[in-house]
Amino acid sequence: MPENFQLPETPIEQFTLANGLRVVLSRDPAVPVVSVVVYYDVGSRNEKEGRTGFAHLFEHMMFQGSENVPKAAHFQYIFNAGGTMNGTTSTERTNYFETLPANQLPLALWLESDRMRSLKVTQENLDNQRQAVQEEKRLRYDNQPYINAFLLINELIFKNPANAHSTIGSMEDLDAATIDDIRGFFRVYYAPNNAVLTIVGDFDSNQAKQLVETYFGSIPRQPVPPPVDVSEPPEVHKSQDSYLDKLAPAPAFILGWKIPPRRTPDHYALALAGDLLFAGESSRLYQKLVKGDESVVSIQGEVDDRRGPSALYIFALPKPGEDIPTIREQIFNEIKRLATDGPSDDEMEKLRNTLSNDSVRGRQSTLYRAQRIAEYTLYDGDPHLFDHELDFYLQVTAEQIKAVCTNYLDVANRVMLDVIPATEAESETGAAAAASQTNGAARQPAAPAPQVPAGPTPEPPSASKVETPLGDSSDGTPEAVPLSDPTATVEPGSGPVHP
Amino acid sequence: MNQQDEFRRHAPAPLPSSEIRIPTPYQTVLPNGLTLVIVEDKRLPLVSYRLAFRTGDAHDPAELAGLTDLMAGLLTEGTASRTSLQIAEEVERMGATLHAGAGSDFTTLSASALSVFGNKILELMADVTLRPSFPENEVELTRQNTKESLKQQRAQPSFLANEMVSRVMFGDHPYARISPTPESIDAIKRERLVEFHRSVFIPNNAVFLIVGDVERAAVEQGVSKLFSDWSQRDPIADRFPQPPLRNTRTAYVIDRPGSAQSNIVISNRGVYRTSQDYFPLLLMHTVLGATASSRLFMNLREEKGYTYGAYSNLDTRRTAGTLRATAEVRTPVTGDSLREFFYELERIGNEPVTEKEISDAKSYLTGVFPIRLETQEGMIDQLVQIKMLGLPDDYLELYRAQIQAVTREEIQAVAQKYIRPDEAAIVIVGDGAQVIEQLQPYCTNIELYSTSGKRKEQTAAVAAAAAPLAANLTGIWALEIQTPFGQDIPATLTLEKTDAGFSGKVESAMGQGDLANVSLDGQQFQATLAFAMEGNAIDANISGSLEGTRMEGTITLKNLPELPFSGSRAE
């Protein structure tokens, strides 16, 4: 990092209402817009067996009307005021957010408070949204190659069903959800004392505080929700499996490791080890496999940021005819090399500059700031981590990276999942091999929601890219306004235009 | 609701609004013809650069589809003084980014960095722009990996839909191609890349945009110096054939057996980006399908639950465009979805949009405008498109006024002009056997394709789907044939399905004959009729159609007036 570099300080005002709602304000008058986000401390990790996918289905219901807001009017109010909005569900939390012209702050607070205090649920709306969610599952999972394998990998890594099952859930469980489930879930989890409200942008601080009190102050506190058990044994659930994928045009494989929770020293070091292995074209695995050996078309990786036991994944798409066990061995060798020699000075410099660059670039948008601040407040009780978490990453030493590679990655305690195209399984290996494989059609896989692949090659799963009620532009940025982004304008129709 | 909560009944009024400041970019043209656009933005210690060229995939020779893409991708894979690895390491050691990519109309090289690295990344940009070496091994690796990606993209139903829509809507216009082929990739040789780079990467065809924490004079000087050894050439013109006119509704079904959904795209011809109809179309699109509160979404998802999302798409590129309506629906409601799509497409032309709809759409479009300008990337995206698509320099300033000026009448006029349900292309990627049957009430011209894009005989799928219709026509019909003599002759028409197709015969008091060359098209049939009348063999044609439960048609005999007939099934 350049020595004169200093992360700009973010103004933070923090208070808690009498009903337990945690509120954080961060004023920035540069552009006359305001972002409002509400984070509820409930995600798919809170789901009971037989009700997978429920947190996400419930998120859809939050757009179906409340005492003073008719069904689907939430979209209308926000768009008609010149705003953008969305909501997402992950293993850890459910969030709702909008960015509006600054003078529409009262509208956002009215809408968010009305559904927090008086969500209205009807059987008809539940049935309708159940259908929408099932189409979302078909669109983003069942009709895509590789994606359902990404859900299976978490069932292999994690033993605890709270961690192992997917956020999108199973069709059967979605069918089984009742209106009583919805009402009960609302009472338990959608309470002010189980939520964080963050406002970032152009507002008057006193006025904002007053508005928050007016709209949220009278919503009653509820009993503290039951604790969630996400504990895991150190061992992975199952170290090897294969997945028969009827849509995959070529074989692929996924590797997975169980790693410590976010905000722990080892997790920070593992995240940086991951970057050295698979982030960017100068990364070790890209240079070894895509460039050096020319054995894979693409290699990608991801570190999950969970409050409980977390995961690190690597996805590889080999070239036709390449031997998968050999490629896998090369990946393990690269990990061993990092565990033995540790990172170079150049690599440490790369990590520091990339961390600084990404921290600064992200904070351009009020919505990004509001979302991160809300997360730190909800998970850690400390909104200032938005500025200070960077220090924890920057303090990681080369020795620590070397040590976590030895202790967590260069070990036999990991998962290997082969994705086998169904056509290949039929023509090559015959019935015996096919019988030993996990059948994609018969099995309901689960895991954190993967990102829908944007391009020809799929992307690994991610806890941060999650189910949304409207589509995958999770920042809610609109398309054709006033000029759509270059890819959307220039190459349209490659999918729906999601608001 | 208790008294205290009375204030919650209605949406609160907005607070007083504050003015949006739209920065005025500094613009200059360097002696070699390179246009330079600079916006100083010192909020954060960051800088974003974009070098954009007015040539894109549309300018690829057809047999070398993918040339621009490959050329762009290879810029960062080696220069006269740096290897691919050195470039990647230098960029990433700064925590910076450097990428090149191409779209239909233009090609961009993008870089971003902390401003402290602003000059270093700029120097790298100049190197990869001016001195790429296209190393033979990197060219070959890119070719191989691109061909694998082509296989992967065919597994995406959205790609298959877009490929077919582009092909049928753009015809001979190069926007018809959205992807290279393995053959065209193999045909691209290193010498061609070098030559193509020399002819299209020219300063007088490019705009250099800079947004961020820079000193204008210093960065202008830096760019001038780094890009000074770069000379002008004649740019390639946009000389493209017009997209074809369409005058029938045709469905193009891409058979993807076992598909979990039907991807539906309904398309009409649209406009190029600088068309005077753009703003009325943008408003129409906003009412019809741009957002989750537009008509298509409210109908197909919120009311019917057919889909996760139904939208319209306003595709306006530099030289042509399309209008599209899209949804991914579960297979059994493919037909129902078409019904709702056509209902909405008819309605937007038949009735003016309401006062509330137009004012909501204006409020949406003008309101989200500043959100787009929050980030350097957002601002630079806008400026790139203004420059590359030929929009006026004051476009951002005038944008909101142009939105406000559109009237309901103009919206209806462009809807009538461009939304032409009877001339639409319907593209469906889905399970052919299940889709075609549902499609038939909405379209009689159906073409079936495989996922490789090849035309398929409508064998099993279509025959199976046509069966219910054939069943409606086959059987024995009791007809009255009207003669010129003012008298109706009773006749019996028999239509039968055989292995080879259909056969039939006509029997009447005047004579009888066999049907040959029977063709069925939806609810209609045509055939030749070898008629034996009073010992004479007469060649005739017969055609009929089902009108409800009745059969109506004509028999045409040589040198005689047409003989109309009608009737119903024999009891």
SS (H, E, C) B411-464: HHHHHHHHCCHHHCEEEEEECHHHHHHHHCCCCCEEEEECCCCCEECCCHHHHH
Q: Is B571 on the interface with A (CB under 8 A)?
A: no
Contacts of A313 (CB under 8 A, 6+ apart): A150, A153, A254, A255, A256, A257, A301, A302, A303, A304, A460, A461
**For A270-294, b where at least 16 C-beta lie within 10 A, e where not — what string?**
bbbbbbbbbbbbbbbbbbbbbbeee
Residue B152 CB neighbours (<10 A): 23
Of A173-182, B164-173, B324-333, B423-432, the poorest mean pLDDT is in A173-182
Mean pLDDT, rounded, for B119-135: 98
The predicted structure's pLDDT at residue B484: 64
Q: Is A355 on the interface with B (CB under 8 A)?
A: yes
Question: Within 13 Å, how many C-alpha atoms sit on residue B512's CB side?
Answer: 10
A66 φψ region: left (φ > 0), alpha (ψ -120 to 50), beta (else): beta
Distance (Å) of CA A431 to CA A31, A242, A250, A422, B147 = 63, 15, 19, 12, 31
B510/A357 Cα distance (integer angstroms): 92
The predicted structure's pLDDT at residue A448: 29
CA angle A406, A407, A413 (to 5 degrees): 105
Kindly report, residue by residue over B156-165, the tens digit of the pLDDT. 999 999 999 9
Contacts of B265 (CB under 8 A, 6+ apart): A493, B161, B162, B165, B324, B325, B326, B426, B427, B428
- The answer to whether the Cα torsion of B118, A391, A38, A210 is positive or negative is negative
- The answer to whether the Cα torsion of B201, B203, B209, B210 is positive or negative is positive
Nearest CA in chain A to B18: A32
More confident residue, B511 or A174: A174
Kindly report, residue by residue over A265-304, the tens digit of the pLDDT. 999 999 999 999 999 999 999 999 999 999 999 999 999 9
Cross-strand partners of A245: A421
Kindly report, residue by residue over A302-345, the tens digit of the pLDDT. 999 999 999 999 999 999 999 999 999 999 999 999 999 999 99
Cross-strand partners of B530: B514, B539
Of A244-253, B124-133, B215-224, B521-530, the poorest mean pLDDT is in B521-530
Q: Is the peptide bond before A448 cis (omega within 30 degrees of 0)?
A: no
Q: What is the pTM of this model?
A: 0.84
Contacts B56 to A, Cβ<8 Å = 490
* Percent of chain B scoring above 70 in pLDDT: 94
B17 with A485: Cβ contact below 8 A = no
Query: Helices A73-80 and A105-118 meet at what angle, rounded to 10?
Result: 170
Residue B562 has pLDDT above 80, yes or no: no
Pick from B9, B322, B364: CB nearest A68: B9
Looking up tokens 């070719």 gives: B143
Of A67-71, B262-266, B484-488, the poorest mean pLDDT is in B484-488
Contact (Cβ atoms closer than 8 angstroms) between residue B313 and residue B326: yes
Contact (Cβ atoms closer than 8 angstroms) between residue A231 and residue A308: yes
B372 with A80: Cβ contact below 8 A = no
Strands (E), A381-472: 415-421, 438-439
Q: Specify the DSSP class assigned to residue A342.
A: -
Kindly report, residue by residue over B276-333, the tens digit of the pLDDT. 999 999 999 999 999 999 999 999 999 999 999 999 999 999 999 999 999 999 999 9
Nearest CA in chain A to B150: A456
Task: Place A478 in a pLDDT band, splitting at 50, 70 and 90.
Answer: very low
Q: Is B497 on the interface with A (CB under 8 A)?
A: no
B449/A66 Cα distance (integer angstroms): 47
Mutation target to probe the B interface, by most B beta carbons within 10 A, among A129, A352, A494 is: A494
Of A404-418, B334-348, B514-528, the poorest mean pLDDT is in B514-528
Of A26-35, B341-350, B351-360, B520-529, the poorest mean pLDDT is in B520-529
DSSP3 helix / strand / coil % (chain A, rounded to 5)? 45, 15, 40
| 3-class DSSP state of B379 | helix
Residue A498 has pLDDT above 60, yes or no: no
Residue B510 has pLDDT above 80, yes or no: no
A112/A108 Cα distance (integer angstroms): 6
Helix ranges (H only) for A363-415 are 366-380, 385-394, 398-404
Pick from B4, B92, B313: CB nearest A282: B92
**Burial bucket for residue B453 (CB in 10 Å: 0-12, 13-18, 19+):** middle
Largest CA distance in chain A: 71
Q: Is A81 on the interface with B (CB under 8 A)?
A: yes
Contacts B306 to A, Cβ<8 Å = 131, 135
A204/A208 Cα distance (integer angstroms): 6
The predicted structure's pLDDT at residue B41: 95
The predicted structure's pLDDT at residue A398: 98
Q: How far is B412 from chain A (nearest CA, A)?
A: 20
Strands (E), A5-93: 13-16, 22-27, 33-40, 84-89
Contacts of B309 (CB under 8 A, 6+ apart): A470, A471, A496, A498, B292, B297, B301, B327, B328
Residue B221 has pLDDT above 50, yes or no: yes
Contacts of A471 (CB under 8 A, 6+ apart): A86, A496, A498, A499, B308, B309
Average pLDDT along chain A: 86
Q: How far is A234 from chain B (nearest CA, A)?
A: 34
Task: Place A495 in a pLDDT band, splitting at 50, 70 and 90.
Answer: very low
Phi, psi of B322 (to 5 degrees): -140, 160
Nearest to A97 by CA among A112, A81, A113, A79: A112
B130/B124 Cα distance (integer angstroms): 10
Kindly report, residue by residue over A419-461, the tens digit of the pLDDT. 999 876 655 443 333 333 333 333 322 222 323 222 333 443 3
B415/B351 Cα distance (integer angstroms): 10
The predicted structure's pLDDT at residue B252: 97
CA angle A204, A208, A210 (to 5 degrees): 125
Contact (Cβ atoms closer than 8 angstroms) between residue A24 and residue A209: no
Concatenated DSSP letters for B198-212? HHHS-GGGEEEEEEE
Mean pLDDT, rounded, for A477-491: 28
Q: Is A123 on the interface with B (CB under 8 A)?
A: no
Contacts of B227 (CB under 8 A, 6+ apart): B30, B32, B34, B126, B129, B130, B203, B208
Joined tokens for residue B229: 């050894």
* Secondary structure element (H or E) that encloses residue A408, with its range: none
CA angle A480, A482, A484 (to 5 degrees): 35
Nearest to A476 by CA among A458, A497, A455, A499: A499
Nearest to A424 by CA among A287, A321, A284: A321
B403/B282 Cα distance (integer angstroms): 9
The predicted structure's pLDDT at residue B486: 64
Pick from B154, B317, B381: CB nearest A249: B154
The predicted structure's pLDDT at residue A330: 98
Nearest to A43 by CA among A139, A140, A154, A166: A166
Contacts A2 to B, Cβ<8 Å = 114, 116-117
Contact (Cβ atoms closer than 8 angstroms) between residue A441 and residue A147: no
The predicted structure's pLDDT at residue B441: 94
User: Strand A33-40 vs strand A94-101: parallel, antiparallel, or unpaired?
Assistant: antiparallel
The predicted structure's pLDDT at residue B513: 85
Strands (E), B173-245: 206-212
Residue B132 has pLDDT above 90, yes or no: yes
* Percent of chain A scoring above 90 in pLDDT: 80
The predicted structure's pLDDT at residue A490: 23
Nearest to A255 by CA among A318, A204, A348: A318
A493 with B19: Cβ contact below 8 A = no
A361 with B56: Cβ contact below 8 A = no
Task: Place A89 in a pLDDT band, splitting at 50, 70 and 90.
Answer: very high
Tell how far CA B372 is from the center of its chain. 24
Mutation target to probe the B interface, by most B beta carbons within 10 A, among A57, A67, A282 is: A282
Residue B468 has pLDDT above 70, yes or no: no
B242/B176 Cα distance (integer angstroms): 11
B44 with A364: Cβ contact below 8 A = yes
| 3-class DSSP state of A134 | helix
Scanning B28-67 for CB atoms below 8 A from A yields 43-46, 56
Strands (E), A61-156: 84-89, 94-101
A457 with B312: Cβ contact below 8 A = no
Residue A219 has pLDDT above 60, yes or no: yes
Nearest to B147 by CA among B171, B116, B178, B183: B183
The predicted structure's pLDDT at residue B239: 92
* Secondary structure element (H or E) that encloses residue A271, with its range: helix A265-278
The predicted structure's pLDDT at residue A453: 28
Contact (Cβ atoms closer than 8 angstroms) between residue A276 and residue A402: no
Mean pLDDT, rounded, for B199-224: 97
**For A380-397, b where at least 16 C-beta lie within 10 A, e where not — what string?**
eeebbbbbebbeebbebe
Q: Is B105 on the interface with A (CB under 8 A)?
A: yes
B302 with A479: Cβ contact below 8 A = no
CA angle A384, A387, A388 (to 5 degrees): 80
Nearest to B349 by CA among B416, B290, B281, B288: B416
User: Strand A240-245 vs strand A438-439: parallel, antiparallel, or unpaired?
Assistant: parallel
